[in-house]
Structure 1
Amino acid sequence: MKVLKFGGTSVANAQNILLVEDIIKKESLKNRIVVVVSALHGVTDQLIKAAESASQHDENYIQTIKNLEEKHLDLVKELIPILDQSSWLSFVKKRFNDLEDLCNGIFVLGEFTDRIKDKITSYGEFLSSNIIAARLQLKGLDVIWMNSAEQILTNSNYTNAKVNFEATENNLLKCLNENKNQIIIAPGFIARDEKNNSTTLGRGGSDYTASIIASAINADELQIWTDVSGMMTSDPRLVSNAKPIPEISYAEAMELSHFGAKVLYPPTIQPVMVKNIDLRIKNTFEPDAFGTLISHKLEKPNFENQQIAVGISNMSNIALLTLEGSGMIGIPGFSAKLFQCLSHEKVNVILITQSSSEHSITVAIHEKDVFNAKKAINSAFEDDLKLKRIEPVKIENHLSIIALVGENMKSRSGVSAKMFGCLGNNGINIRAIAQGSSEKNISIVISEKDIKKAVNVLHEEFFESEIKQVHLYICGTGNVGKKLIQQIYDQNEYLKQNLLINLRIAGLSNSRRMIFSDKGHSENEYKDFNQNGEDTSAEKFAQEIISRNLRNSVFVDVTASSEVPDIYEKLLKKSINIVACNKIAASSGFENYKNLKNIARNHSCKFFFETNVGAGLPIIGTINDMIRSGDKITSIQAVLSGTLNFVFNNYDGKKSFSEIVAQAQNEGYTEPDPRLDLAGTDVARKILILAREAGYPLEFNEIENESFLPQECMKGSVDDFYNSLSKHENHFKNLLEKAKNDGKILKYVAEFNNGKAKVGLQHIAPESDLFHLYGKDNIVIFKTLRYSEQPLVVKGAGAGAEVTASGVFADIVRSV
């Protein structure tokens, strides 16, 4: 014999009930079955709403009841043949007349007690089960309706009654032995006390009803039919990649349901677990799907190749209550007194954690219970509070609990480290931790605003190890930005297959517009974003990134803006990785530079800026590797401007100096304002960054800059700059001729030695490593304690949108 329970969504309307009918027909051909049904979807809430309105002297309760009556009358008309409708329409009308009389009484008295609440809410299941039984009977099935309220005996704890299992089992066995019908239809949720008053088994109690019946009759299996295909690895409303769990043990199912897995009402498991009855969760709308099997047979020893966890559950609207004080230390019964006073107020304690010093104890409760809990604690510990043996109770609201559950977590080292590590790397602060000695569950309390991010982070870490989702926010869509975005689109499939990384461009911004998509932007969306985006600013872009609070977030700055670096600190403090092509932050005041690096370290995130120097060349990374391995850089000699190298490699006097500079700008080698390159400002920033990364606290104003440009060139607009270059062409020819006469060439060189740095135009002899440097190439020559005789040389293309974008891309991949 099997017990099948159908929830509110399964019996929400006539169309769904016809699906239920097909399932019942199919199952009854193989087994004698008991079918437990819930009220129609939403009916219980509407019944409570009507009664509450009546208690507040709000006459709208009459219309609410009328709406519910119409809903049930329409159901009868759709399910019952016309010739048989009359008696069932009268049946429904009589029940709603009774309901209206009850609510009229509430309206007059202005009182809505738990006892009356149970009486009123019992109508939902009573009506749905009778109508469904009538439908099946009229279809010729061997069906009888059984009133659960006559069989299930409870105490008088209204709205959440406790079952007398011995009496209930006797009643059910007697009833089912007397009635030999193949199909028994019964309402869920409802019961009675010893005085025959209506009681209910708590919200979600229809599952519990089915479990009680299955236990009483030693059923072969209990099936819970709902609107999802079993228990999921996480809440699918939060995690799009949540997967059905095919098999799970009783203990795992209990942990998941206790901590918020809503597919199963927590008390449901106990009655069938005691009798070792399998419980299967099935989908009414996909009846052929396997669902989830919950069974004692699955409890088996831990094997290393088994999945560590089976699921993640979460509960919202949680508050933490903390009691602390020196008067708690070593005092027997203190915890008992706390829990006793909470129990007296019917406050459910969800999670407990206590310091080893016994100086404090923290409990998690539902936010709705905070007022009663605080009042009870203050009353129970009044004397201790007056004598200041304990502090006033501390309350933290707007929290959530996440539980990672699995039998195979037991004795498996590193699970907690893995859990806390991935959360920490995503900036999620843990307020409290609890783990039972069984090691089947690790529970944490976090801020409610972090719940979606945290659940996705954990799900990815424990259930989606094959692909890591990375959310990119790219600021800047100029030459480098466009190349970077195209490289990401072109290369993403390779990253998925070989590095198990999926890069999503979740946000884009330029100086005017911005767009966002948590699922990532397609190429077409990116190309149209200037038309479809919204107005932006650096601050607005940052706020939107933070408010979206997505896991594995990386902010990418491919601008030359002085405003964008102002948002770095805010992003780093939210554990958002930063990849910067923009040199302003790393070359700002030393204290700001150091502060940003410290914030990144303290918030477990990355701050990478490899392309600040040498575009895609591995210069900063090389410095970092040497320093980390214990080496010390003693001097740096470098040509760090691809622009200036291009200019002086191509300037031979045949074309004017201004033409060569314009060519460099047209080919994308210069900054938007070429003076930043030609005045040496950009090179000075670069040598400053290298010196700092080498461990020297250098400031920008300490760098000696020997400018080769006439002062007039630095005034006015960019157009004025080009006019000045033309005007001073003889000056540039003289510089060129002087070098040629010495058998040398011109290079703009940056040097760092003995803690001092300088930049300027130099005459380079043929024997120098700097001589054979062509096009837009850069070169950096390091002398260190280990590379003292033969220096370490890094050389290659140091400018251009393509190579700069590839360097930014490499930093992005390193950051995740």
Structure 2
Amino acid sequence: MSTVVQLRQGRRAQPRPARLALLGTGTVGSAFVERYTRLAAQGVPLPEVAWLCNSRTQVLGGDDLPAALAQARAAAHRRAGFPPWAEGESPKPGDIIVDATASETVADWHPEWLTRGVHVVTANKLGTGGDLGRAQAIGDARAIGGRYGDSATVGAGLPLLRSLRALIDGGDRIHAIEGVLSGSLAWLFSHHDCSRPFSALVRAASAAGYTEPDPRVDLSGEDVRRKLLILARAAGIALPAHEVVVESLVPEVLARAADADVDQALTALDGPLDARRVKAAANGERLCFVGRFDADGARVGLRALPIGHPLCAGNGTDNRVAIHSDRYSAQPLVIQGPGAGAEVTAAALLDDVLAIAHAQADSGERVGIL
């Protein structure tokens, strides 16, 4: 075969450029658009955003993404029916879906997209941190189909899942993982002293954007349970959600409060948590909200830890995770860094997008040579 024919075949084999679709235009989706726009202005090569979508509408991306985002956010609420992204143009193999939602419905589509060869980049913890069957379906689909970028689901982009998978691929055995997995709860308990009541800290964390709009979501421990499930399943443990024992911080009066009364009901947190703080301090300990799994089971809740414990290091919204394994038996591998905020989550999403885009480009170069 002549060199000219080889080159022509190589050009025909080149994959088309990936398109990107953003699902979710809330806090994280908006931060994603802002960071994407900034990187594009700096000349960073990025896949084209073909469309943006939320539960109300789907709009074309184009050159003015902030305007498209504003259009999507201003759309009127829809009546019940198929979500806009299910009614519009279907993604094609090689496209990248960015899931910036917290939607169970969107998470259900992850294995379907992957099987079609569509890549999925997600901050949605329900994909691999919810139903075990869906998590296993995602694992099966990513083995044969599209790539799955999930670094934003735990640790807001810290090299946590990547490091854990590298250990397992290298033959290491994981014995236990424990961590301060909620940036909002890390911030709350790192600031919990005698200067302000805990309820005032919750209000401050909410105003800073560290908590969900309803802080009971963070205080319930459900977010930490999902992250612990993601870690366990990445470590090869098929852990069902119902087997994780969760200690919620939400007292009954706060749990039953109407949305409009939540702020006032937060004071129910003050007495019990201050008593636990005083007791921990008297024993030279510090309160941390920890998720842990080991051979004895999986637990999420508030623990009083010695000041020298690996999970007591760090400040602010830092996530801290300790991995105990054959390789790290005498001393755990500790990974630490910022774990809350829309900006760091958006950065993690874009990092995964760029990694997939670069892998596609490398694959295309190899196809062109063959």
- Counterparts in 2 of 1:556-575, with a 5 A limit? 556-575=98-117
Deviations 1:588-630 (A, max 9, x none): 221221012212323x201222111111211111111111222
- Specify the alignment match of 1:587 in structure 2: 129
1:714 is aligned to 2:248:
no
- Specify the alignment match of 1:508 in structure 2: 52
1:554 is aligned to 2:102:
no
Q: Distance in 1 between matches of 2:301 and 2:70?
A: 44
- Specify the alignment match of 1:741 in structure 2: 282
- Counterparts in 2 of 1:307-386, with a 5 A limit? 308-310=6-8
- Specify the alignment match of 1:168 in structure 2: none
Q: Distance in 2 between matches of 1:708 and 1:530?
A: 36
1:477, distance to aligned residue in structure 2 (A) = 1.6
Give 3-state SS (helix, strand or coil) of 1:502's partner. Answer: coil
- Specify the alignment match of 1:197 in structure 2: none
Q: Distance in 2 between matches of 1:609 and 1:755?
A: 27
Q: What amino acid is the match of 2:292?
A: E
1:488, distance to aligned residue in structure 2 (A) = 1.3
Give 3-state SS (helix, strand or coil) of 2:51's partner. Answer: strand
Cα gap change, 1:698 to 1:532, in 2 (>3 Å): closer
Contact conserved, 1:477 with 1:509, CA < 8 A, in 2?
yes
Q: What amino acid is the match of 2:108?
A: D
Q: Distance in 2 between matches of 1:787 and 1:586?
A: 26
- Specify the alignment match of 1:486 in structure 2: 34
Deviations 1:7-38 (A, max 9, x none): xxxxxxxxxxxxxxxxxxxxxxxxxxxxxxxx
Identity %: 30
Cα gap change, 1:553 to 1:534, in 2 (>3 Å): farther
Deviations 1:118-158 (A, max 9, x none): xxxxxxxxxxxxxxxxxxxxxxxxxxxxxxxxxxxxxxxxx
Give 3-state SS (helix, strand or coil) of 1:770's partner. Answer: helix
Q: Distance in 2 between matches of 1:531 and 1:703?
A: 36
1:522 is aligned to 2:64:
yes
Q: Find the partner of 2:195 among 648, 654, 669.
A: 654
Give 3-state SS (helix, strand or coil) of 1:663's partner. Answer: helix
Q: Distance in 1 between matches of 2:73 and 2:270?
A: 44
Q: Distance in 1 between matches of 2:174 and 2:319?
A: 19
1:701 is aligned to 2:242:
yes
1:720, distance to aligned residue in structure 2 (A) = 3.0
1:680 is aligned to 2:226:
no
Cα gap change, 1:662 to 1:629, in 2 (>3 Å): same
Contact conserved, 1:514 with 1:533, CA < 8 A, in 2?
no
Contact conserved, 1:538 with 1:567, CA < 8 A, in 2?
no
Q: Distance in 1 between matches of 2:85 and 2:344?
A: 26
Give 3-state SS (helix, strand or coil) of 1:634's partner. Answer: strand
Contact conserved, 1:643 with 1:776, CA < 8 A, in 2?
yes
Give 3-state SS (helix, strand or coil) of 2:117's partner. Answer: coil
- Specify the alignment match of 2:324 in structure 1: 783
Q: Find the partner of 1:811 among 352, 355, 364.
A: 352
1:775, distance to aligned residue in structure 2 (A) = 0.3
- Specify the alignment match of 1:765 in structure 2: 306
1:557, distance to aligned residue in structure 2 (A) = 1.0
- Specify the alignment match of 2:342 in structure 1: 801
Q: Distance in 2 between matches of 1:792 and 1:728?
A: 34
Give 3-state SS (helix, strand or coil) of 1:600's partner. Answer: helix
Contact conserved, 1:469 with 1:502, CA < 8 A, in 2?
no
Gaps of 5+ in 1: 1-300, 311-403, 405-414, 420-457, 462-467
Contact conserved, 1:542 with 1:571, CA < 8 A, in 2?
no
Cα gap change, 1:570 to 1:542, in 2 (>3 Å): farther
- Counterparts in 2 of 1:216-227, with a 5 A limit? none
Cα gap change, 1:625 to 1:707, in 2 (>3 Å): same
Give 3-state SS (helix, strand or coil) of 1:672's partner. Answer: coil
Q: Distance in 2 between matches of 1:508 and 1:555?
A: 10
Cα gap change, 1:531 to 1:489, in 2 (>3 Å): closer
1:766, distance to aligned residue in structure 2 (A) = 1.6
- Counterparts in 2 of 1:107-126, with a 5 A limit? none
Cα gap change, 1:524 to 1:660, in 2 (>3 Å): closer
Which has the bigger relative contact order, CA under 8 A and spacing at least 6?
A: 2
Cα gap change, 1:695 to 1:539, in 2 (>3 Å): same
Q: Distance in 1 between matches of 2:306 and 2:245?
A: 22
Deviations 1:329-373 (A, max 9, x none): xxxxxxxxxxxxxxxxxxxxxxxxxxxxxxxxxxxxxxxxxxxxx
Q: Distance in 1 between matches of 2:73 and 2:278?
A: 52
Q: What amino acid is the match of 2:356?
A: S
TM-score (norm 2): 0.87
1:729 is aligned to 2:298:
no
Cα gap change, 1:793 to 1:524, in 2 (>3 Å): closer
Q: What amino acid is the match of 2:23?
A: C
- Specify the alignment match of 2:368 in structure 1: none
Contact conserved, 2:243 with 2:298, CA < 8 A, in 1?
yes
1:502, distance to aligned residue in structure 2 (A) = 3.3
1:623 is aligned to 2:164:
yes
Q: Distance in 1 between matches of 2:256 and 2:309?
A: 35
Deviations 1:232-283 (A, max 9, x none): xxxxxxxxxxxxxxxxxxxxxxxxxxxxxxxxxxxxxxxxxxxxxxxxxxxx
Q: What amino acid is the match of 1:567?
A: W
Contact conserved, 2:251 with 2:268, CA < 8 A, in 1?
no
1:613 is aligned to 2:154:
yes
Q: What amino acid is the match of 2:345?
A: T
Contact conserved, 2:132 with 2:240, CA < 8 A, in 1?
yes
- Specify the alignment match of 2:364 in structure 1: none
Q: Distance in 1 between matches of 2:345 and 2:180?
A: 16
Q: Distance in 2 between matches of 1:531 and 1:480?
A: 13
Q: CA RMSD in A?
A: 2.5
1:753, distance to aligned residue in structure 2 (A) = 1.0
Q: What amino acid is the match of 1:308?
A: Q
1:691 is aligned to 2:215:
no
1:506, distance to aligned residue in structure 2 (A) = 0.7
Deviations 1:217-238 (A, max 9, x none): xxxxxxxxxxxxxxxxxxxxxx
- When Rg is computed on C-alpha atoms for both structures, the one with the higher figure is 1
Cα gap change, 1:683 to 1:558, in 2 (>3 Å): same
Contact conserved, 1:688 with 1:700, CA < 8 A, in 2?
yes
- Counterparts in 2 of 1:181-196, with a 5 A limit? none
Give 3-state SS (helix, strand or coil) of 2:18's partner. Answer: strand
Q: What amino acid is the match of 1:508?
A: L
Gaps of 5+ in 2: 358-370
Q: Distance in 1 between matches of 2:23 and 2:344?
A: 18
1:535, distance to aligned residue in structure 2 (A) = 7.1
Q: What amino acid is the match of 1:590?
A: L
Contact conserved, 1:479 with 1:668, CA < 8 A, in 2?
no
Q: Distance in 2 between matches of 1:728 and 1:492?
A: 45
Q: Distance in 2 between matches of 1:551 and 1:492?
A: 24
- Specify the alignment match of 2:293 in structure 1: 752
Q: What amino acid is the match of 1:774?
A: N
Q: What amino acid is the match of 2:288?
A: K
Q: Distance in 2 between matches of 1:686 and 1:709?
A: 19
Contact conserved, 2:181 with 2:339, CA < 8 A, in 1?
yes
Give 3-state SS (helix, strand or coil) of 1:571's partner. Answer: helix
